[in-house]
Structure formats: C-alpha cells, structure tokens
Amino acid sequence: MTQSFVLRWGIISTGRIASCFVTDALVDPKTRDVTDVVHKITAVGSRSVESAQKFIAEFAKGDQSIKAYGSYAGVFADPNVDAVYIGTPHTFHYENALDAIKAKKHVLCEKPVTLNAAELRSLLAAAKEHGVFFMEALWTRFQPLTLEVKKLAESGVLGAPMALQADLSADFGLDKIPKTHRILDPALGGGALLDLGPYPLIWAILALYEHPSNQGAAPSNITGTMLKTPLTGVDRSTSFTVTFAERGVAAQANLSCNLNVNTYQTGVVIRYEKGTIAIQEPIYCPKSFTVQYLQGDKVTKEETRRFEYVGSGWHFQADEVARCVRDGKSESLLWGHDKSLLEMEIFDEVRRQGGYKFPPGLEKVV
Ligand SMILES: NC(=O)c1ccc[n+]([C@@H]2O[C@H](COP(=O)([O-])OP(=O)(O)OC[C@H]3O[C@@H](n4cnc5c(N)ncnc54)[C@H](OP(=O)(O)O)[C@@H]3O)[C@@H](O)[C@H]2O)c1
C-alpha cells in the first residue's frame, strides 16, 4: 500500500477561524474516504506565546510535539513547517502571506485573500519568484456538494445558465458590538462585501465564469451599490451584479450581502434553460440542494441531494493544498489564482462604485 503524503502545517493566529481550520485538519481523513494525504500541525504562531499554547491545548489535543511561538516569524522560520495557514484579519493577509512566501513556505490564506487586486498581483509574483504554492482559503469550492453541483451544471442536462441569485447575510448585532470589531472597523477592512461577499460570488464564478462555454472570459459588466452604517462608515448592505456576455455564456448574477439581517433559507438559485438548482443556506457550507427539471414552466422532476461528513467542511481545502504541494503545483485547478484575482477585481470595482475607500495607508500595494 502506498504511504499517505503528510503535509506539515504552521498556523498563523489563534482566532475563531484558525480554530475551525485546525479542528477539521485533525479529523481522520479516512472518515471522508481520503487515504492519499494527511495533515500534521507542527507549529502555531500568535502575538502571545500563551495564546499559542492555549490554542494547542484546546484545538490540537494538547499535542506536545507542536511548537508554540509568540510571534508569526517563528513559524515562518521553522524548518518543520511546509505550509502556512493564515487566519488573521483581512488587513494583515498581504504582509503575513508575503513573509511566509519569502521564507519559502506554501500558503493557504483566508478570504478575502487581500484588500485589493494590486496586493494579490504582488503576492502572486512573489509566490512565483520563490516557487511556492499559493491559494485563497475559499473552502466552499472544495466541498463535495459544490463538486456535485458543478458536475450537474456542466453535464448539459439543464442547458445553458441564464440567471443566478445569491445572498449571504448575518445579523452581527452592529449596535451591540464594539466599533473596533473587525466587521465594523474600517482600519481592519470592515464591512459586508469583503467579509461575506466572497460566498455569493463563488457561486457566480462556479456557475458562470467556470462554465465551459464561457471559455474563461472576464465579466462584461460589473455594478455595485453600498449602504453604509453610520456607526463607522463601512458597508452594511451591498448589492452587486456580475454579467457574463463575452463568449458562450449570456447570463447575469445578482449578488448581495448584509450585516444586519439573517440569510434566507435558500441562499443560491441558479436558473438554466431547462431547470433550476436551489442551494440551501448556509451558502459557505451547504448540506443540500434541490434540482428541478423543467419543460416550459412545468416541473417534470424534482430531486434533493443531501451531504454528510465528519467535521465542518474546512478539511476539503486542506486536502487540496496537500495534493497540490505533493504534486509540485503552484496553484489549484479548482480555485486557482485567476479566480481570486477576478474576485478582488470585482470587489475593487464594487467599492469604487459604492464609494468605499479604505483609510490611507491600509492597502500595502495600490
Ligand atoms: N473561511 C471562513 O469560513 C471564515 C470565517 C470567518 C472568518 N474568516 C476570515 O478569517 C479572518 C479572521 O477572522 P476571524 O473571525 O477568525 O477573526 P478573529 O477571531 O478576530 O481572529 C483573528 C486573529 O488574528 C490575529 N490578529 C493579528 N493582529 C490582529 C489585530 N490587530 N486585531 C485582531 N486580531 C489580530 C489574532 O490572533 P493572535 O492574537 O493569536 O495573533 C486574532 O485572534 C478574516 O480575514 C475573515 O474574513 C473566514
């Protein structure tokens, strides 16, 4: 029997999402029928060593072999780390990822990968120069439900995509949280678009941009409008449209995200010539979708598919990183550099139209 490839991870930051990632990475891969790769956490870096130690005790079963560092630099310099997972607030992604890349570590960086497209272009150039793998942690793209939706959508049975609606909203209780919370604070890149926007967008990218008949064409039009909260001026509600009409796809995505209401049960609706795919919330990690087959306006068949697995869904992206690193790839075919770049270019344009400027100096590359 061939041996599993072991990827040795260094974790940067000890916040909420880093704990989710580590918990899932340590789930036995065999529970999801994965035998070719396995994950080992070898280092955790935090701004305080106590926090790194506490994190290891709580989320890595107190594994004494994991090194706790009171800085991120310690993890970058650790020879037992192959890949770095970055779970800091958006505004630090650029500098943390650049430091990791310069230390010749492969990188998985939380969404949104950077504050703007210029920062991302600079990181991609650095990753190329240093010969390392780089990926945005758009975990939804690697989940089994998403892979199944893609297969169905591209099988041809539903015909061409025509229209897509997707929303991700969450009531953050804005009046009750401190203005320094990362969702509200402009100095931490706060607002709905950067935090929630990647999820409605990923479905538009999957169904329209990735559709074979689109042949990789960029959107022909992007519009965006923002409603700002008077609390700090970041976007409380953002709606944006992304239109594809350059090649074989002629379809529009209507996307939205809000910080003051909860999401509706059906988060994504993709309408095709001969049917509809409706994906249940939460759209970052849905567990079921329903497909209706249509003849004219008559529903001829309806099926619901449900997906279950051990863990919460963050491990599938970790498996993808491990396979790519094992195979010497610089990017993933599923969520490659072009898609992160498209995401950041769309966000730049929506922020431009919505009049959302970051505080001076926040963007490291413009
Ligand atoms: N994939 C997903 O489902 C998902 C979900 C939520 C968030 N995210 C993304 O993950 C990132 C972090 O979100 P989170 O909810 O995990 O945030 P969080 O709980 O506030 O954790 C962020 C961590 O970053 C570190 N950090 C470094 N400098 C900081 C600063 N000046 N202020 C605050 N924290 C600082 C801290 O760790 P140390 O003290 O240990 O250094 C902190 O615990 C964001 O970019 C967000 O968009 C992704």
Running DSSP on this structure, what letter comes out for residue 18?
A: H
Atom of ligand 1 nearest to the CA of 111: 47
Determine the atom of ligand 1 nearest the C-alpha atom of 19. Answer: 16
Beta carbon of 90 within 6 Å of any ligand 1 atom? yes
How far apart are alpha carbons 194 and 293 in whole angstroms? Answer: 35
CB–CB of 116/174 below 8 Å? no
Alpha-carbon torsion 322, 323, 326, 329, what sign?
A: negative
Q: Is the CB of 182 under 6 A from ligand 1?
A: yes
Which amino acid residue places its CA nearest to atom 7 of ligand 1? Answer: 17
Q: How many CA atoms, within 13 angstroms, populate the side-chain half-sphere of residue 106?
A: 24
The predicted structure's pLDDT at residue 295:
95
Question: Cβ of 21: how many Cβ atoms within 10 Å?
Answer: 26
Return the CATH number of 5-139+314-335, one of 3.40.50.300, 1.10.540.10, 3.40.50.720, 3.40.50.1820. 3.40.50.720
The finding on whether 46 has its CB within 6 A of some atom of ligand 1 is: yes
* Cα–Cα distance for residue pair 123/311, rounded to 1 Å: 31
**How buried is 225 (Cβ within 10 angstroms: 0-12 exposed, 13-18 middle, 19+ buried)?**
middle
Q: Could you read off the pLDDT of 258-298 as tens digits, one per residue?
A: 999 998 888 999 999 999 999 999 999 999 999 999 999 89
Ligand 1 within 6 A of 91 CB? no
Cα(174) to centroid(ligand 1), Å: 18
Domain ranges of the chain: 5-139+314-335, 144-306+343-354
Task: For a ligand 1 pocket test, name from 90, 95, 139, 182 the mutation site with the most ligand atoms within 8 angstroms of its C-beta.
Answer: 182
Specify the pLDDT at position 1: 64
To test the pocket of ligand 1, the residue of 17, 20, 111 to mutate (highest count of ligand atoms within 8 Å of its CB) is 17
**CB within 8 Å of 350: residues ≥ 6 apart:** 193, 197, 222, 223, 224, 226, 238, 240
Residue type, position 112, single letter? P
Report the top-level CATH class of 144-306+343-354. alpha beta
Q: How far is CA 51 from CA 12, 16, 78, 108, in A?
A: 11, 12, 18, 21
Q: What integer pLDDT is reported at residue 265 of this predicted model?
A: 87
Instruction: Identify the residue whose C-alpha is closest to ligand 1 atom 26.
Output: 88
pLDDT in tens, 139-151: 999 999 999 999 9
Supply the pLDDT for residue 43: 98
- Residue 254 Cβ < 6 Å to ligand 1: no
16 CA → ligand 1 middle, Å: 7
Between the alpha carbon of residue 172 and those of residues 19, 48, 153, 225, 233, the distances in Å are 20, 27, 34, 20, 15
> Is 284 touching ligand 1 by the criterion CB < 6 Å?
yes
The residues of the chain scoring below 50 in pLDDT are none
- In this structure, what token pair is assigned to residue 277? 């795919």
Please identify which residue in the block is written with the tokens 């490659």.
Answer: 336
Q: Which residues contact 279 (CB under 8 A, 6 or more apart)?
A: 145, 149, 203, 266, 267, 268, 269, 270, 286, 288, 289
